[in-house]
């Protein structure tokens, strides 16, 4: 027992926090935003929806993986070494708590507060006669024609149920058209139908009145079973295992194999059953039997079985006063600097991005800086007669991507274009296959990464002829080349003409295409080869500096921290006296603040308007020449051992200072959006406690505002 903190027993605390438990705690922090009165009301509803979507993915991916691990009696979770069955039991208990909190937040906090703002969800017992007539007509004209009710009997077996689809189990009395008593039926709702309907003026007097599709179906379900009596109708939804398995060593064409797997993803093994809380026990047990699930996997809920569908409300309600104030990203200036003062013909000339990058590195901080320069970079390269080759990695791009347009145009203009497209980007597989096919048709050299290693690096390399020499222009980033997520993910992107970075990027692209060895990079670190060892070397250097009485400090910002060797090295550094400040948005398996183990380590998580997505690593290096890296990789085993990732040094001092200030220091001062990880794995929100309130994200919004004279 620690005498200074009697609540912590070092001997009883496991050395590592369970990864999945930490992920659930992240979703608890997201859900807490829905209860924050300082946040605009419709934004609070969005946070509730995000937490619901995150929990869905948790079951589809993480809990599904644990169920698979349970089949192996020798398997253990990493890094905490739990038996999978014990982990499942623990996580099931926490997940039930979270789901209960979600519905409490919806029913007892958000719906009443929305009603005060005249945004109403009308339940059946509050429908006027006028509304009932409108709903009856709406059902007959818009719903009934696309519904296929299925009475269950030996020739009508229980249907296949799509992952996360809305369904109803209906109990019936009486005989069907053929004189038989069936007792049960299933109604499946097509995904093309909206789950929430905004009512028109002819249906209600309210400007923002909504009705759930489930309520409409409940009120009219009897019309689907003429001649029979409906005695009960209960919504349910099944979450399935969406993990894809492809034996990459055996398949000849990964795209064809992946397309085959994707067709079955919607019907993976059942992981969770959500069902209305008033559904009778015998019907719940019937569904459990159909989906081969145990009691712990059943979540009986008071409300819609898919809370995330409420995400449509902010757009439909048209209440900008209940949203965050609009934010416009800062645009990169295209003005050409005047080298001499001219009295006449002072027409402002524009400068190509290649000229700007030639003069100095350009750092973009998204979403505060616009993503447009990245697109412009490729557009200019596609048309520039001096550009010979464009090489790019693509993990997520989104549909209707201008980046794909630019690569396609470059290939048609005769440039040598290579795109390394990661087909296995989770939930983006379909889109990536479409984009890959389109680029191939345009003449782009398309590769799908490396067998067994996802290509997660974020790189663009443009080779340009300048005089009698070839020059490399490189863009490296911490986030995806996705024009939508760049509006609400925080990321850094660096344009540079630094020769060493260009040569290293060229070597990595050559490795990805030829599969040849690349072990002599000059300045970049790359996983699965040198990134883990490079980080460990720098952590150990700080450890030795501390032991020798020299300045020693580590600041790191990332999305997740789980790699055991990194955590152990940080524990050693802490015990040597290194001050370690970690900013970890999501899961964190390191246990901070434990006497004798990690008392010099603090971990905070920033939750706010934007999704924190930077990966930044700072090492004091005896105070003389500190090092700062940005990366596509978190300190997770998957990033460091089984993906192709890049980590690039910030060599330009202006960019160095900007990243240190805007990506690290400003977050350490946050006392509004920061949550502090406790030794027991829970988080406490940091409060100003007499200091002036300070939000890192709001400070950056104000700094980049067009009205800011220093912007």
CB atoms within 10 A of CB 373: 21
Query: What CA–CA distance (Å, rounded) separates 490 from 697?
Result: 9
**What are the DSSP calls for 646-708, one per residue?**
EEEE--SHHHHHHHIIIIIIHHHT-SSSEEEEPTTS-EEE---TTSPP--HHHHHHHHT-TT-
Element (H, E) at 601: strand 601-606
Q: How far apart are CA 704 and CA 384, in angstroms?
A: 31
616, β-bridge pairs: 557, 630
CA 693 to chain CA mean position, Å: 28
Distance (Å, rounded) from C-alpha 64 to C-alpha 75? 15
Rg (CA), the chain: 28
At residue 448, the 3 state secondary structure works out as coil
Cβ atoms of 107 and 303 within 8 Å: the answer is: yes
Residue appearing with tokens 């309907």 = 197
For residue 194, the 8-state DSSP code is: -
Within 8 A by CB and 6+ apart from 558, the residues are: 582, 583, 584, 585, 614, 615, 616, 634, 635
| 518-528: b (≥16 Cβ within 10 Å) or e | beebeebbbbb
- Rounded CA separation 605/312 (Å): 28
Peptide bond into 367 cis (omega under 30): yes
Work out whether strand 643-649 and strand 454-455 pair parallel, antiparallel, or are unpaired: parallel
**Closest by CA position to 642, among listed 55, 73, 69, 248:** 248
Pairing of strands 196-198, 208-212: antiparallel
Contact 610, 488 (CB under 8 A): yes
Q: With CA atoms as reference, report the closest residue to 324 among 43, 612, 608, 693.
A: 43
Q: Could you report how far apart the first and last alpha carbons of the chain are, in Å?
A: 52
In terms of C-beta density within 10 A (0-12 exposed, 13-18 middle, 19 or more buried), how is residue 178 classed? exposed
- Distances from the Cα of 452 to the Cα of 500, 528, 592, 643, angstroms: 28, 11, 33, 8
Q: Please state whether beta strands 298-301 and 270-276 pair in parallel, antiparallel, or not at all (unpaired).
A: parallel
Nearest to 329 by CA among 384, 270, 374, 274: 374
Q: Which residues contact 469 (CB under 8 A, 6 or more apart)?
A: none
- What dihedral do alpha carbons 208, 213, 216, 218 form, nearest 10°? -140
Alpha-carbon distances, residue 289 vs 282, 283, 295 (angstroms): 11, 10, 10
Instruction: Count other Cβ atoms within 10 Å, centred on residue 269.
Output: 14
Residues whose CB is less than 8 angstroms from the CB of residue 340 and which lie 6 or more positions away in sequence, other chains included: none
Burial class (CB in 10 A: 0-12, 13-18, 19+), 49: buried
Hey, what's the torsion of the CAs at 111, 116, 121, 123, to 10 degrees? 90
- Give the catalytic positions in this structure: 456
d(CA 225, CA 125): 23
């Amino acid at each position: 027992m620690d005498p200074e903190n009697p609540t912590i027993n070092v001997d009883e605390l496991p050395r590592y926090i369970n990864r999945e438990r930490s992920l659930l705690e992240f979703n608890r922090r997201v859900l807490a935003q829905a209860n924050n009165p300082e946040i605009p009301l419709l934004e609070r509803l969005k946070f509730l929806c995000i937490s619901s979507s995150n929990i869905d993915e948790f079951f589809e991916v993480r809990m599904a993986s644990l169920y698979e691990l349970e089949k192996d009696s020798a398997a253990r979770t990493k890094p905490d070494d739990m038996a999978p069955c014990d982990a499942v039991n623990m996580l099931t208990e926490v997940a039930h708590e979270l789901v209960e909190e979600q519905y409490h937040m919806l029913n007892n906090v958000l719906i009443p507060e929305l009603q005060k703002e005249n945004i109403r969800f009308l339940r059946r017992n509050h429908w006027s006669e006028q509304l009932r007539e409108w709903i009856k007509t709406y059902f007959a004209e818009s719903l009934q024609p696309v519904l296929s009710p299925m009475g269950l009997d030996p020739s009508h077996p229980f249907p296949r149920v799509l992952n996360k689809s809305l369904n109803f189990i209906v109990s019936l009395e009486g005989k069907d058209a053929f004189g038989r008593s069936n007792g049960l039926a299933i109604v499946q709702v097509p995904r093309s139908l909206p789950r929430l309907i905004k009512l028109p003026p002819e249906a209600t007097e309210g400007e923002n009145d909504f009705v759930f599709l489930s309520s409409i179906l409940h009120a009219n379900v009897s019309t689907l079973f003429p001649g029979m009596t409906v005695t009960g109708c209960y919504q349910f939804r099944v979450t399935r295992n969406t993990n894809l398995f492809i034996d990459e060593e055996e398949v000849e064409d990964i795209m064809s194999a992946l397309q085959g797997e994707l067709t079955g993803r919607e019907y993976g093994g059942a992981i969770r059953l959500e069902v209305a809380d008033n559904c009778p026990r015998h019907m719940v047990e019937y569904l459990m039997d159909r989906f081969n699930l145990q009691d712990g996997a059943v979540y009986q809920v008071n409300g819609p079985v898919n809370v995330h569908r409420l995400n449509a409300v902010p757009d439909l309600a048209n209440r900008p006063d209940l949203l965050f104030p609009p934010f416009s990203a800062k645009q990169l200036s295209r003005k050409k600097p005047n080298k001499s003062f001219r009295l006449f013909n002072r027409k402002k000339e524009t400068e190509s991005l290649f000229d700007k990058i030639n003069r100095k590195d350009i750092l973009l901080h998204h979403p505060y800086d616009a993503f447009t320069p990245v697109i412009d970079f490729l557009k200019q390269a596609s048309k520039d007669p001096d550009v010979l080759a464009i090489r790019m990695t693509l993990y997520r791009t989104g549909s209707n991507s201008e980046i794909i347009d630019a690569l396609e145009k470059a290939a048609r203009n005769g440039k040598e274009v290579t795109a390394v497209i990661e087909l296995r980007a989770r939930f983006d597989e379909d889109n990536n296959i479409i984009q890959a096919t389109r680029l191939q048709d345009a003449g782009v050299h398309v590769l799908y990464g490396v067998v067994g290693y996802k290509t997660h690096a974020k790189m663009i390399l443009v080779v340009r002829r300048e005089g009698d020499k070839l020059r490399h222009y490189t863009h490296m980033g911490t986030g995806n080349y996705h024009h939508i997520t760049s509006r609400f993910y925080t990321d850094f992107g660096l344009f540079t003409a630094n020769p060493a970075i260009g040569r290293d990027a060229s070597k990595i692209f050559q490795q990805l295409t030829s599969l040849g060895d690349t072990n002599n990079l000059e300045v970049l670190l790359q996983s699965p080869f040198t990134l883990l060892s490079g980080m460990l070397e720098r952590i150990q250097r700080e450890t030795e500096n501390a032991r020798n009485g020299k300045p020693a400090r580590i600041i790191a910002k990332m999305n997740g921290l789980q790699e055991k060797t990194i955590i152990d090295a940080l524990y050693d550094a802490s015990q040597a006296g290194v001050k370690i400040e970690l900013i970890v948005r999501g899961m964190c398996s390191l246990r901070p603040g434990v006497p004798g183990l990690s008392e010099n380590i603090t971990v905070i998580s920033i939750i706010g308007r934007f999704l924190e997505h930077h990966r930044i690593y700072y090492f004091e290096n005896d105070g003389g020449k500190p090092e700062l890296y940005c990366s596509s990789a978190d300190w997770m085993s998957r990033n460091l051992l089984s993906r192709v990732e890049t980590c690039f040094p910030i060599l330009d001092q202006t960019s160095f200072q900007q990243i240190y200030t805007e990506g690290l220091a400003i977050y350490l001062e946050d006392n509004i959006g920061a949550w502090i990880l406790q030794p027991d794995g829970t988080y406490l929100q940091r409060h100003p406690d007499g200091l002036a309130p300070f939000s890192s994200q709001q400070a950056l919004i104000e700094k980049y505002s067009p009205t800011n004279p220093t912007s």
